[in-house]
Structure 1
Amino acid sequence: MKLWRRGILVVIAALAASVLAACATIPRDGAVTRGGAVSAQDNPFGQVDYLPLGPGDGESKQQILNGFIQAAVSPEAGYQIARQFLSSSFRSQWNPDASVTVDRAAQRTVDDGGSSTQLKLEITPQAFIDQTGDYRAADSQAPVPLNYSFVKEHGQWRISQAPPGIVIDSDQFQNVFSPHPLYFYSPDYSFLVPDLRWFPSSRTTIATRIAKALLAGPSPWLQDAVVTAFPKGAQLASGSVVVAGGTAQVALNSVAAAADAPTLNRMGEQLTESLGTSASSVDLTIGGVGQDVSGATSAVQNPAVAANPLVLRSGKFGFLSGKSVVPLGGVADQLESLHPTAATVTADGGAAAALADGSVYAASDALSHPVRVDDRHGLVAPSIDSHRIVWSATTDASAPFAVSAGDGATATLKAAWPDARQLLSFAVSRDGTRLAALIGTTDGQSHLMVAGIVRDATGHPTRLGEPVDLGGLGLSSGISLTWSDELTVAVLGVSPQGGTAIVTQQLGGLLSDTTSGPAGAAVIAAGNPSSQLWVLTSNGSLETPAGNGWQTVSTGVQVLATQQGRG
């Protein structure tokens, strides 16, 4: 995970360098568009500082507005350059951290409406980021008007009123902002759970932004599905985090002074993993007293799966190795007896969920034979979580999920998927805190949606949190999905151009990639490393990416099973 974050920062630095080579001035005439001139300063973490120009003499209202929007991409010194475009009375009132609106600069329009002191900027939003760095795709492409007022100070136009937050072009956004996963815990502290946020890539402010967001807690959709080691009311005592020599100096108020050693170690772990490449270690003080946070915890980050695909072939269930199937052991005999069409197995191979003869079964080394847990019409491939809970659902998106511990007792959980028409596929995350669903929506598209899983003290699911729609995937129809790592879901579907396609989507991030899939693709599963994907076709051919195409690994495969992660 750390390597991935470091790679993102290197790409950002490279993009900034290319901008510097191509542009020398910031245009202020014409429509409000993306500016070009930035400056980068070398630093140990590869982050980039953007230094736009301040207002020039005699500039028009539209030039001032253009310059203000361009300058607002730089958070240095509290957005000092952007504030130069504001009137003296409004300068301290403007709140740039309230939100970020990502749009396309080419679609912006400006109109004065006949007023000598007003401008209306109309934008088409693509995404929004709130004050905690939470990214959300826009629900609508309808234009949004933003109103700006102007006054003259010392003969120069300045903005006297503006909406809170900043507006940034989608192309520039990925150069100026970078993704940072904040880490919380599963309720039993077994897993570290990422919550992706976006912050300006500023070396002077990034550590502070990360720490403040971490202390503020998880995103609303994860609120009751994860926990944090920091007590309510814990805040930065000094207002900022200073990074010196690779060590982040984090000073908290005295709210957490009563924390025991395990809790302190978890605080240190959350800070260290969340700060990522911004700091290699943490020096924590609480109420002015230094704390030892060097103790190890047992939490697993980004649980992995086995490198080989897990399959049913020629009646044998196990890992495919070369031309042979290595028996799984555990529940393999029970699965083989079911002749399933879909299966999901826990990391230890001791429990599984299977779809066979139109019903969902729970298999376990604690059972003498598989137990039928759901026989509703239209069942899709089931899932199983880290607590050995079997999850099942039908294609009816309005119907509840059934959850069973395999003992015959089954509970139901309702999921209010927005604008849902059909449930196409779903899977529980490897840490058991989130459920991803591929939903056919009423507008005819396939959307990826996620919801937090709320559990009781025994680990049994009690409800699903409010779902979040991550947006359309650009597919004519969805087929299957799988978790490829702690933050990414890979979706198999039908391409609008014909054939199949695979789309990878970060939770809380951008559509990462879209590639062509093999002909007749029916099921997708992830391997190890997370970039390794396996696809089973309708004729039993198991395929894996090879260069720009797909290579047949095996034929005669009846089931490609999903593996849950292990530590």
Structure 2
Amino acid sequence: MIRRLILVLGCLVLVASCANIPEQTNAQAIPNSAAQQQPKIPLPERDQSPITVVRKFIEASGETAVAEAYLTEEARKLWRPDNQATIIEDEFSTVPQPQGKDADPNRTTVEVKATSKGWLDSRKSFVAQSGPQTGMVKLIKQDGQWRINEAPSNVLIPITMFNNHYRAVKLYFYDSASREVPVPDQRYLPGATRASPSEIIGLLLQGPATALQGAVRTALPSSAVQRTNVTLSKDNATVVNLGQLGNVTTEEKRAIAIQIVLSLQDVAGTTVRLQVEGLPLVPDQPDWKLNDIQADSDRTTPKAQLTGMMVVGNRVKELRDGKQISNPAGDGSYHVESAAQSVDGSQLAVVERLNSGDLQLRVGALTEGLRQTNVTGKEITRPTWQFAVASNEIGNEVWAVVDGNITRAVRTREGTWLSLPVNGSELERFGKITELRLSRDGVRAAVVAGGKLYVGSVGRTQGTNNVAIISPKPLLPSVSNVVSVDWLDPSRVVAATNTPNGLVWQVPVDGIEAQRYSLANLTAPLASVTAAPSRQIVVTDAVGMWTASEVGQVWLPHPQTQGPNARPFYPG
């Protein structure tokens, strides 16, 4: 990247020599965030103790130039701040190590003890991994001042410093089921200002995060390269010039364009000019704006008129007015234990209690009676819907956990429902699964197992019925009483727990930092939660249903409180 930047800056000095950038763009390079002008770096205060030097170094690790001031010249040559960054809690200890009586007074060692939250992998994706983190820091006295001459191999960054000096960016890929719905993939780049478009394109070309591989796809061929750094044309278009795309169809080119424009939406101007070897990527549309893109994500977002439902007294009712729905599930024909409405609102799935005491899944149109399926068992979790993969179809896949096994009921061409297994072997070590919710884009699954919260990706093998939950990671490692979870949007879940210091939490899918909702007005135990884009969070506690729109807001009684046995649900 440094070499590429030098080449581009050289082209700015000698404009005519910059042959890879078409003359008609009159382009100027958009600088990388790492190369943007840095403020003057203050020198460390004099006569600091070894402990203070180490603490200041770690606190500054999110700013490479500041941290380097605490290193000796030799240590600076060996330190690799771009190595795996480990994010730690803000509270950490620095413990001086005992020195022997014959030890050199100008040398010492300090042990760092911290609690890890996770780390950034090579693709700048956060991987949650909670646990103790230790490292030895060796110091030497130079010109009367302590300086670090051997730092830990991995960079330790306190979470507050990480938030201050790293920028979250969302790349976009496509779901593996329909291969059309854009899916966000969050990464983190160093720099006090926004990330550069060139960095975004570079990451996009590397492909999805490790945890999403098998669950999403990219439209960009593996051979594709960034032919030149992203530039800004004279008419203020952000120019992206790719190379080595090979033979791609017009449809594939448009998919590439959508993927790039969505990924650049927070760092580029209003117009993105997409090129291959200096020529338009899509000949009849050289320039792209965000509003040019048909939002396929609309297929995975419940329409505004779908206001939600609830199960109360073994019947399904409307959440907005408490009235029974016009379906046998609402009039008492079925003894409903739990239910789910499809993302498009047209279908309903219910778990029915049979006279034998067993449970059975029923599925069908909201306006009709519900068909029995062969999904039966002693225990069945609340069902959850996969969105309609084809734009001209209705929901045709429902998931639930049946007697400990993840099962999906799939509608056949004849209209019957076929029970198929989901490989959940990677979840088995976590304990009994009591809740499973598919994200509305079908790419991830949030799972409550053994009282803890996990999120994994949904891996689908093309051309087969093989589906698995892959790479599950803990999201609330310190909370062990999770009772319910739902998807707020493709990047965040909301979890209801019975942990006294935090009853409701909002958590990003990478688990980097959870936010706690207000405790005001809620009474444990909590029983359920539902969430969806542009809707209020609804939880059920020991009194009834409560609502809140954002973290920090006091919970207000739901107009249809319905008591502690109400189980609200939004489509999905």
Q: 1:551 maps to which residue?
A: 557
Alpha carbons of structure 1 residues 490 and 56: separation in structure 2 relative to 1, 3 Å: closer
How far apart, in 2, do the equivalents of 1:506 and 1:279 lie? 24
| 3-state DSSP of counterpart to 1:211 | helix
Q: 2:472 maps to which residue?
A: 467
C-alpha contact 1:453 1:461 (8 A) present in aligned 2: no
Alpha carbons of structure 1 residues 85 and 228: separation in structure 2 relative to 1, 3 Å: same
Written as runs of structure 1 = structure 2, the 5 A alignment for 1:2-401 is: 52-54=41-43, 65-66=54-55, 68-74=57-63, 79-83=64-68, 85-88=70-73, 91-104=76-89, 106-111=91-96, 114=99, 116-117=106-107, 119-127=109-117, 128-140=119-131, 142-148=132-138, 159-187=148-176, 188-203=178-193, 205-238=195-228, 240-242=229-231, 247-252=237-242, 254-280=243-269, 281-291=271-281, 292=286, 294=288, 296-297=293-294, 299-300=296-297, 303-304=301-302, 306=304, 308-312=307-311, 317=316, 319-322=318-321, 324=323, 327=326, 332-333=327-328, 337-357=333-353, 358-365=358-365, 369-387=370-388, 388-394=396-402, 399-401=404-406
Q: Structure 1 residue 493: deviation in Å?
A: 1.9
| 3-state DSSP of counterpart to 1:124 | strand
1:562 matched to 2:569? The reply is yes
| 3-state DSSP of counterpart to 1:212 | helix
Q: Residue 355 of structure 1 aligns to which amino acid in structure 2?
A: V
Alpha carbons of structure 1 residues 205 and 321: separation in structure 2 relative to 1, 3 Å: closer
Q: 2:7 maps to which residue?
A: none
| 3-state DSSP of counterpart to 2:218 | coil
How far apart, in 1, do the equivalents of 2:85 and 2:566 lie? 45
Q: Structure 1 residue 450: deviation in Å?
A: 1.2
How far apart, in 2, do the equivalents of 1:512 and 1:293 lie? 39
Alpha carbons of structure 1 residues 165 and 309: separation in structure 2 relative to 1, 3 Å: same
Q: Residue 182 of structure 1 aligns to which amino acid in structure 2?
A: L
Written as runs of structure 1 = structure 2, the 5 A alignment for 1:523-542 is: 523-530=528-535, 532-536=536-540, 541-542=544-545
1:405 matched to 2:410? The reply is yes
| 3-state DSSP of counterpart to 1:341 | strand
Q: Residue 545 of structure 1 aligns to which amino acid in structure 2?
A: A
Please report the RMSD computed on the Cα atoms of aligned residues, expressed in angstroms. Answer: 3.7
Q: Residue 379 of structure 1 aligns to which amino acid in structure 2?
A: I
Unaligned stretches of 5+ in structure 2?
Answer: 1-35, 389-395
C-alpha contact 2:137 2:148 (8 A) present in aligned 1: no
C-alpha contact 1:246 1:278 (8 A) present in aligned 2: no
| 3-state DSSP of counterpart to 1:554 | coil
How far apart, in 1, do the equivalents of 2:38 and 2:311 lie? 53
> C-alpha offsets along residues 168-207 of structure 1, whole Å, 9 cap, x if unaligned?
2233332222332222111223321112222334337544
Alpha carbons of structure 1 residues 156 and 479: separation in structure 2 relative to 1, 3 Å: closer
Q: Residue 488 of structure 2 aligns to which amino acid in structure 1?
A: S
C-alpha contact 1:241 1:250 (8 A) present in aligned 2: yes
Q: Structure 1 residue 124: deviation in Å?
A: 0.9
TM-score by length of 2: 0.75
Q: Structure 1 residue 427: deviation in Å?
A: 0.4
| 3-state DSSP of counterpart to 1:524 | strand
Q: Residue 309 of structure 1 aligns to which amino acid in structure 2?
A: G
How far apart, in 1, do the equivalents of 2:317 and 2:452 lie? 32
Among all aligned residue pairs of Structure 1 and Structure 2, give the percentage whose two residues are the same amino acid. 19
Alpha carbons of structure 1 residues 89 and 208: separation in structure 2 relative to 1, 3 Å: farther
Q: 2:20 maps to which residue?
A: none
| 3-state DSSP of counterpart to 1:465 | strand
- Aligned residue pair count: 495
How far apart, in 1, do the equivalents of 2:483 and 2:386 lie? 21
Q: Residue 563 of structure 1 aligns to which amino acid in structure 2?
A: Y
1:455 matched to 2:460? The reply is yes
How far apart, in 1, do the equivalents of 2:296 and 2:109 lie? 53
How far apart, in 1, do the equivalents of 2:111 and 2:225 lie? 37
> C-alpha offsets along residues 264-302 of structure 1, whole Å, 9 cap, x if unaligned?
333332233223422234333333434336363452167
Q: 1:10 maps to which residue?
A: none
> C-alpha offsets along residues 220-247 of structure 1, whole Å, 9 cap, x if unaligned?
2210001111111433334x54567875
| 3-state DSSP of counterpart to 2:255 | helix
Alpha carbons of structure 1 residues 105 and 368: separation in structure 2 relative to 1, 3 Å: closer
How far apart, in 2, do the equivalents of 1:418 and 1:118 lie? 47
Q: Structure 1 residue 86: deviation in Å?
A: 4.5
C-alpha contact 2:172 2:185 (8 A) present in aligned 1: yes
Q: Residue 372 of structure 1 aligns to which amino acid in structure 2?
A: T
